[in-house]
């Protein structure tokens, strides 16, 4: 049974991801703008992740170490390459979420699910193109949950700027107790 666990985990992830795409498509068909959807998704994720990260990994917090990586004896509060990589990675997250949302508006959830298998290859290609070693970034931050929370906060800020610039009709920002709210909640819990 232990040998089958990785296969079952992959199948479960694919099922959850397909459900996320189907609900997202239903929310877009229900009238929510894709950019507003990504903003709500990232913001609600921040409300979930940040308190959880601060509660579980508070002992990693030394002044500014979260933003600038681990501090050595000779380092000062100067942005390091690690912090710049984390900012860049959050931009890639925002960009991929925004393009996925726009793609879902104009295509089907089936096509989005089929092409989602290309995301790891695209991520690897972009990291290679920009000479980013992803394992090096993760080793630099001792707290993985705090690092993920930082990326989520930065992505939320970026997606809010994009959504405010591209969707000015406040009626498209309203959430009700319908499929739009359900889709956002589902995406947040499966992120």
Q: Does 178 fall in a domain?
A: yes
CB atoms near residue 80 (< 10 Å): 16
Q: Give residue 29's domain range.
A: 13-60+80-189
Q: How many domains does the chain have?
A: 1
Residue 189 CA to residue 186 CA, distance in Å, equals 5
To the nearest 10°, report the CA torsion of 51, 53, 59, 65. Answer: -100
If phi > 0 it is left, if psi is from -120 to 50 it is alpha, else beta; for residue 5 that is alpha
CB atoms near residue 101 (< 10 Å): 23
Q: Does 1 fall in a domain?
A: no
Q: Does 108 fall in a domain?
A: yes
Residue 191 CA to residue 186 CA, distance in Å, equals 8
Q: Does 6 fall in a domain?
A: no
pLDDT per residue, tens digit, the chain (191 aa), is 788 888 888 888 888 888 888 888 888 888 888 899 999 999 999 999 999 988 888 776 655 454 545 544 444 434 456 565 656 665 667 777 787 788 888 888 777 777 777 767 776 776 677 666 666 556 666 777 887 888 888 889 889 999 999 988 888 888 878 888 888 888 887 76
Token pair listed for 190: 């499966």
Per DSSP, which regions of 5-74 are E strands?
A: none
Q: Does 72 fall in a domain?
A: no
Q: Does 117 fall in a domain?
A: yes
């Amino acid at each position: 049974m232990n040998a089958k666990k990785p296969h079952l985990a992959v199948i479960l992830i694919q099922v959850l991801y397909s459900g996320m795409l189907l609900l997202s498509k239903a929310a877009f068909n229900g009238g929510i703008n894709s950019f507003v959807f990504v903003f709500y998704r990232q913001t609600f994720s921040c409300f979930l992740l940040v308190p959880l990260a601060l509660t579980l990994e508070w002992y990693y917090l030394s002044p500014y170490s979260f933003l600038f990586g681990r501090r050595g004896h000779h380092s000062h509060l100067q942005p390091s390459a690690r912090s710049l990589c984390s900012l860049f990675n959050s931009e890639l997250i925002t960009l991929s979420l925004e393009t996925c949302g726009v793609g879902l508006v104009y295509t089907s959830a089936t096509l989005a699910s089929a092409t989602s298998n290309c995301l790891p290859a695209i991520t690897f290609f972009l990291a290679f193109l920009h000479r980013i070693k992803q394992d090096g970034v993760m080793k630099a931050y001792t707290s993985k949950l705090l690092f993920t929370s930082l990326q989520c906060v930065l992505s939320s800020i970026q997606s809010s700027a994009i959504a405010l610039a591209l969707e000015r009709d406040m009626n498209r920002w309203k959430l009700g107790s319908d499929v739009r709210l359900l889709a956002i909640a589902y995406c947040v819990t499966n992120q």
